[in-house]
Amino acid sequence: MTDFDAVGWVSRAQAFPMAIGRVPGVVVRSTTVAAPIAAAELQAIERALGSTVPTSLRALFTRGASAVDCSYVLEPEGKSLERLRAILPDVTRIFGGARLSPASELVDNCSALRDWARDTWIADDPDARSLWESAIPFLRLENGDYLALDLRTAASEPPVAYLSHDDESFLLAPTLMAFLAAWERLYYLGPEQWLLRPFTNDTGYLDPESERAARLRELLGH
């Protein structure tokens, strides 16, 4: 974890929406970053969880920020819309921006995951239920989905999973650091699955070096 610059990642995430704010069709919605959480506060959260927060997420919360909401929307017109449709044929607008649910909501979000796994269709799918019951969420989306760390393995740096409340869940990156790096290169797109799926490769992981990803960066002026 010594190579994870949480402060730098958060700083770039906060600056990014303003950097592309001059691109025609872009509206900046938020550039909010909360101060890092104290280690003692995170330990209290862990006691309430009954488990330890993985090292990568701990570093993000205690060194980078306890919450992040840096969002933008692109609603292009004319040739810019044509360029977007060439990248994502069924899309006329995109949105994104780095987000991290507040550390203070971690216990409630974990409880919501367990409830959904117990009380919905997921209860009848052993693999999905195992994932939902073991995961530690770091972002709760407005549509009921989550980004979470998959703790089913004994890895010290678990993979990042997209938990879909009404569809199949899947892995997005082998570690949180890999996800954050790839997401940054994808201009923090989404992260709803219908926006991120087109930017995955044959492994299922995000691929920020693909031709589609390069065209996305060109569209947004970088």
pLDDT at 3: 73
Torsion of CA 96, 187, 168, 139, to 10 degrees: -60
Give which of 166, 164, 188 is closest to 14, Cα–Cα: 188
| Residues above pLDDT 70, as percent of the chain | 98
Determine which helix (DSSP H) or strand (DSSP E) holds 222, and give its type and residue range.
none
Is the pLDDT at 1 greater than 50, yes or no?
A: no
Q: Using CA of residue 222, residue 67, residue 116, residue 73, what is the dihedral sign?
A: negative
Which tens digits make up the pLDDT trace of 23-60? 999 999 999 999 999 999 999 999 999 989 999 999 99
pLDDT at 65: 98
With beta carbons less than 8 A apart as the criterion, state whether 107 and 49 touch: yes
Q: Using CA of residue 34, residue 37, residue 38, residue 41, what is the dihedral sign?
A: positive
Query: What is the C-alpha separation between 130 and 177, in angstroms, rounded?
Result: 23
Upper half-sphere CA count for residue 133 (Cβ side, 13 Å): 13
Put simply, whether the predicted model's pTM sits higher than 0.75 gets the answer yes
Which tens digits make up the pLDDT trace of 111-158? 999 999 999 999 999 999 999 999 999 999 999 999 999 999 866 899
Upper half-sphere CA count for residue 16 (Cβ side, 13 Å): 28
Q: Copy the structure tokens of residue 119.
A: 């009380």
Which tens digits make up the pLDDT trace of 50-109? 989 999 999 999 999 999 999 999 999 999 999 999 999 999 999 999 999 999 999 999
Which residues are 27's β-sheet partners? 73
What CATH superfamily classification does 6-219 receive?
A: SMI1/KNR4-like (3.40.1580.10)
With beta carbons less than 8 A apart as the criterion, state whether 54 and 89 touch: no
Q: Copy the structure tokens of residue 183.
A: 């997401």
Is the pLDDT at 4 greater than 90, yes or no?
A: no
The domain ranges of the chain are 6-219
